[in-house]
């Protein structure tokens, strides 16, 4: 018996969840195809007994741009591959190959078998296979999932999870879950999309997958057609959805918010727009690899969580009012050492600053000063460095301004090297300069020219100024 065989046992995997699907409802309803649990189970068995047999226990990367094809691939690989690396489509080849090397990938499952110059053997992603006669159960393994995270720098980090750590806030009550139909708003290669897929499969709810190249109102029409009654989105996307024709035709029973600070205004609006919906906001920390849900429709979380926390985590504030988390079982690790270090008691610093007000812990933002523009993180230093490249800039300070649509926007205060003849055209020039170096969400949306930026005694630009 090899080491690989030894670690196999009947571990709970995604495929096992399909066994609970006995009433004929579809598991996945895509733009053009609908999959039942029986069809997916047949596909899983055919791949594991067929061309995917040799992937058992191995390190497998997945890059499939067809969303339904991707979901069926994840279903047969979880519990089968020892490690699963989820690659977003359209990834730069050099970055992709770096990921493959760092994760020691042995096989790839992809749509295009040729043409993409994969350095390891490739298996095609299939959604129909020849039936196999198999009724038994194959021993499975606890698959390690590796997901690239955007992080606050431009270099994605690889973070390892298990199905258990990915589904800590997942509701597994299948009886209740049968009443929900989830609509997928994010691609499953993104953390937010993966969470919805896992919730649907493990909770026994149908997942409706739209054509991601279509307009938002067309996706909502597809959702309405399939009876979608549960959606998960960032506060920014929720505000956009509320402006989109067709949202009113969905009878939502569950609205979930995550990825950004959920303010009271959006929570109240969702509560009033969908009176029969449960409004849930999720707090998740990439650093700690865990999260918890707040279900009372109020911003922040109750201070009582500090004494009696939600399941799976313990919460604490440090002397700087930074939220510390201790996962019940530490199941997340960075592949690169030294990125997330727990203190001696196992608490991990989340970097999220808290203000205690009226019995609630409110999120103020990131300790690092990172700005969250609709779920995209911006480091002020990066934008300041770009501004400092411009010869007309003596000093620049970048910070966040509150915004009712994206939560925050980037604001720059600039001390010109010389008083500009035409301040408006100078500001325009600075914006163009930034746009040439930065993606649109990092370009200062607001630019103010000031005569004098205060500098601290240590010679640093004061962020409080």
What is the contact surface with other proteins in residues (CB under 8 A)?
Answer: 215-216, 236-237, 239-240, 242-245, 265-266, 268-269, 272, 373-374, 401, 403-406, 409, 431, 435, 440-441, 443, 445-446
**Considering only CA atoms, which of 225, 238, 231, 187 is closest in space to residue 205?**
231
Cα 416–chain centre separation: 39
Q: Which is nearer to other proteins, 210 or 327 (CB)?
A: 210
Instruction: Give least dist CB 403 to other proteins, A.
Output: 5
**Nearer to other proteins by C-beta: 269 or 321?**
269
Minimum CB separation of residue 111 from other proteins in Å reads 28
Q: Which long-range contacts (CB under 8 A, 24 or more apart) does 357-365 make?
A: 359/302, 359/303, 360/298, 360/299, 360/300, 360/301, 360/302, 360/303, 361/300, 361/301, 361/302, 361/303, 361/305, 361/306, 361/317, 361/323, 362/299, 362/300, 363/261, 363/283, 363/300, 365/261, 365/400, 365/408
Secondary structure letter of residue 461 according to DSSP = B
Which CB sits closer to other proteins, 83 or 232?
A: 232
For residue 396, give the 3-state DSSP assignment: strand
Q: How far is the CB of 242 from other proteins (least distance, A)?
A: 4
Nearest approach, Cβ of residue 270 and other proteins (Å):
10
Alpha carbon distance 214, 418 (integer Å): 49
Smallest gap from residue 402 Cβ to other proteins (A): 8
Radius of gyration of the chain (CA): 24
* Min separation Cβ 377 and other proteins, Å: 14
For the record, the structure tokens of 207 come out as 């997942």
Least distance to other proteins, CB of residue 374, Å: 6
- Angle (CA) 299 301 303, round 5°: 135
Q: Residue 16 Cβ, how far from other proteins at the closest point, in Å?
A: 38
Shortest gap between Cβ of 243 and other proteins (angstroms)?
4
Task: Tell me which DSSP letter residue 440 carries.
Answer: G
Closest CB to other proteins among 157 and 390? 390
The answer for residues whose C-beta is within 8 angstroms of residue 215's C-beta and 6 or more apart is none
Distance CA 450, CA 133 (A): 75
Spatial contact of 404 and 431, defined as CB atoms under 8 Å apart: no
**Both tokens of residue 252?**
């939502």
Please say which residue, 109 or 447, places its beta carbon nearer to other proteins: 447
Measured from the CB atom, the residue of 121 and 404 that comes closer to other proteins is 404
Beta carbons of 447 and 431 less than 8 angstroms apart: yes
Nearer Cβ to other proteins, position 39 or 247? 247
Cα within 13 Å of Cα(251), Cβ side: 6
Q: Of 59 and 237, which CB lies nearer to other proteins in the complex structure?
A: 237
d(CA 37, CA 60): 24
Our CB check for other proteins shows the closer of 15 and 443 to be 443
For residues 262 and 236, is the Cβ–Cβ distance under 8 A?
no
Identity of the residue, 240 or 316, whose beta carbon is nearer to other proteins in the bound complex: 240
Of residues 131 and 249, the one with the C-beta less far from other proteins: 249
CB of 436 to other proteins, least distance (A): 11
The answer to whether the beta carbons of residues 334 and 149 sit under 8 Å apart is: no
* Shortest Å, Cβ 373 to other proteins: 7
Are residues 229 and 55 in contact, defined by beta-carbon separation less than 8 angstroms?
A: no
Measured in degrees and rounded to the nearest 5, phi and psi for residue 254 equal: -145, 125
Number of other CB atoms surrounding residue 459 within 10 Å: 6
The tokens of 189 are what? 């290669």
Give whichever of 237 and 324 is closer to other proteins, judged by the CB atom.
237
Smallest separation (angstroms) from other proteins to the CB of 461: 22
Give ∠ CA 342-345-348 in degrees, rounded to 5.
30
């Amino acid at each position: 018996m090899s080491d690989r065989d030894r670690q196999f046992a009947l571990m709970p995997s995604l495929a096992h969840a399909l066994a609970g699907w006995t009433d004929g409802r579809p598991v996945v309803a895509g733009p053009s195809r609908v999959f039942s649990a029986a069809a997916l189970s047949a596909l899983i068995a055919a791949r594991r007994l067929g061309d995917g047999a040799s992937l058992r226990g191995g390190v497998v990367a997945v890059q499939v741009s067809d969303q339904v094809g991707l979901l069926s691939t994840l279903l047969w690989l979880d519990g089968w591959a020892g490690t699963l690396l989820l690659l977003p489509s359209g990834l730069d080849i050099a970055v992709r190959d770096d990921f493959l090397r760092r994760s020691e990938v042995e096989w790839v499952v992809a749509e295009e078998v040729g043409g993409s110059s994969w350095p390891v053997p490739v298996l095609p992603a299939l959604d129909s296979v020849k039936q196999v006669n198999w009724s038994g159960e194959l021993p499975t393994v606890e698959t390690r999932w590796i997901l690239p995270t955007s992080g606050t720098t431009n270099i994605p980090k690889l973070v390892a999870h298990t199905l258990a750590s990915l589904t800590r806030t997942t509701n597994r009550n299948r009886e209740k879950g049968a009443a929900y139909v989830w609509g997928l708003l994010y691609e499953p290669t993104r953390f937010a999309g993966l969470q919805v897929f896992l919730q649907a499969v493990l909770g026994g709810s149908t997942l409706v997958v739209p054509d991601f190249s279509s307009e938002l109102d067309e996706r909502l029409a597809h959702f309405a057609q399939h009876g979608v009654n549960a959606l998960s989105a960032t506060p920014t996307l929720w505000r956009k959805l509320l402006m989109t024709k067709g949202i009113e035709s969905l009878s939502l029973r569950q609205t979930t918010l995550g990825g950004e600070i959920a303010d009271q205004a959006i929570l109240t609006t969702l509560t009033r727009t969908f009176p029969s919906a449960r409004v849930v906001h999720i707090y998740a920390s990439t650093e700690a690899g865990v999260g918890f849900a707040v279900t009372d429709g109020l911003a922040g979380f109750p201070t009582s969580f500090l004494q009696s926390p939600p399941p799976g985590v313990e919460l604490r504030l440090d002397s700087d009012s930074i939220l510390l988390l201790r996962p019940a079982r530490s199941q997340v690790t960075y592949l690169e050492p030294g990125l997330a270090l727990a203190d001696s008691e196992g608490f991990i610093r989340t970097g999220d600053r808290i203000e205690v007000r009226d019995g609630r812990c409110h999120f103020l933002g990131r300790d690092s000063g990172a700005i969250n523009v609709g779920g995209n993180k911006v480091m002020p230093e990066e934008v300041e460095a770009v501004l400092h490249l411009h010869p007309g800039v003596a000093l620049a300070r970048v910070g966040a301004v509150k915004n009712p649509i994206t939560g925050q926007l980037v604001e720059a205060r600039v001390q010109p090297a010389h008083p500009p003849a035409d301040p408006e055209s100078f500001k325009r020039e600075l914006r163009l300069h930034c746009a040439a170096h930065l993606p649109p969400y990092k370009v200062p949306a607001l630019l103010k020219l000031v005569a004098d930026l205060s500098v601290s005694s240590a010679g640093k630009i004061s962020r409080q100024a």
